[in-house]
Amino acid sequence: MMLLLKQPQTFLLAALTLVMVGCGEPLPGKPLLSERAIPLSEQMEFGELYRINCTGCHGADGKGGPAPSLNDPLFLSIFSDKQLLEIVHNGRPGTLMPAFSREEGGLLSEAQIQSLAAGIRATWAKAEGVPDNPPPYLASSPGDPAAGQAKFELYCARCHGKDGQGGTEGAVNNPAFLELISDQALRRIIITGRDDLGMPNYLGLVEKSSQKQPPTSQDISDIVALMGTWRTAPARRLANQEKQEAPAPKATPTAPAATQPTGTTP
């Protein structure tokens, strides 16, 4: 070392040699350029984008996670491409569904969001087995919680108990659970069921042997309104009622969640 310091030319030569060696062969253990993981900002492939950003909540392969499944042809038949792009872009305020666009503080580019939306549809939407004319994703009129009680008993009680306290299946009246889920997601679960958890879709809510009709769009709104009253917090309940009484709220997929601002849990 002393020698190198005393003879700068020798040092330079040695350093240069090292640099040149570095250019030719990769150092042992160093991945080739082609083997390196693509940085998230450049990732365009649907499977990878989904795995990195969505699997934790929506489940590997789009189902079985805590959040509603995306690998659900009935859901995708009532949820438009526009709605899909919008929710990934903006998230659903007041719920755990985050915004992914850079504009909204997320990490994904427009092109990546489009790749995700296109991939979800290409991979999981199917025409076969999807019922004709299912109830629409968006409610067209507010629900009536009083009317909802009888409808809950008709369509839900045999599995979840008369007041949602649980029966052969789990409770659905738990305030902590209801605080975390929007009216929109409740509506969607009643329409599509949760195939991944064993809950039937709207057609399966009545036993085949019975002569009862499956729930209509309005029945579903009424049941959701009833479940809204189980969120307990009186302030929250009031806010929900005010929203429902307000004249014709704009029907956007994010509107129902706006009735549940975060951070107001008493």
Helix ranges restricted to H, the chain: 2-6, 8-24, 46-53, 55-58, 73-78, 81-90, 110-124, 145-155, 157-160, 175-179, 183-192, 217-229, 234-245
Does 221 bind ligand HEC (CB under 6 A)? Our answer is no
Our CB check for ligand HEC shows the closer of 43 and 244 to be 43
Does 43 bind ligand HEC (CB under 6 A)? Our answer is no
Among 139, 191, 225, 257, binds ligand HEC (CB under 6 A): 257
Comparing CA positions, the residue from 231, 254, 222 lying closest to residue 95 is: 254
Instruction: Enter the tokens of residue 244.
Output: 């429902």
Task: Mark 132-161 with x for binding to ligand HEC (rule: CB under 6 A) and - for no binding.
Answer: -----------------------xx-xxx-
Does 185 bind ligand HEC (CB under 6 A)? Our answer is yes
CB 80, min distance to ligand HEC, A: 11
CB 212, min distance to ligand HEC, A: 11
Among 182, 201, 221, 259, binds ligand HEC (CB under 6 A): 182
In this structure, which long-range contacts are made by residues 232-236, counting pairs with CB atoms below 8 Å and at least 24 apart in sequence?
Answer: 232/175, 233/175, 233/179, 233/264, 233/265, 233/266, 235/264, 235/266, 236/179, 236/260, 236/264
Q: Alpha carbon of 52 to those of 36, 124, 178: distances in Å? A: 16, 18, 27
Does 172 bind ligand HEC (CB under 6 A)? Our answer is yes
Among 88, 139, 191, 225, binds ligand HEC (CB under 6 A): 88
CB 132, min distance to ligand HEC, A: 20
Does 190 bind ligand HEC (CB under 6 A)? Our answer is yes
Residues that bind ligand HEC (CB under 6 A): 53-54, 56-58, 67-68, 70, 84, 87-88, 92, 95-98, 100, 116, 155-156, 158-160, 169-170, 172, 181-182, 184-186, 188-190, 194, 197-200, 205, 223, 257
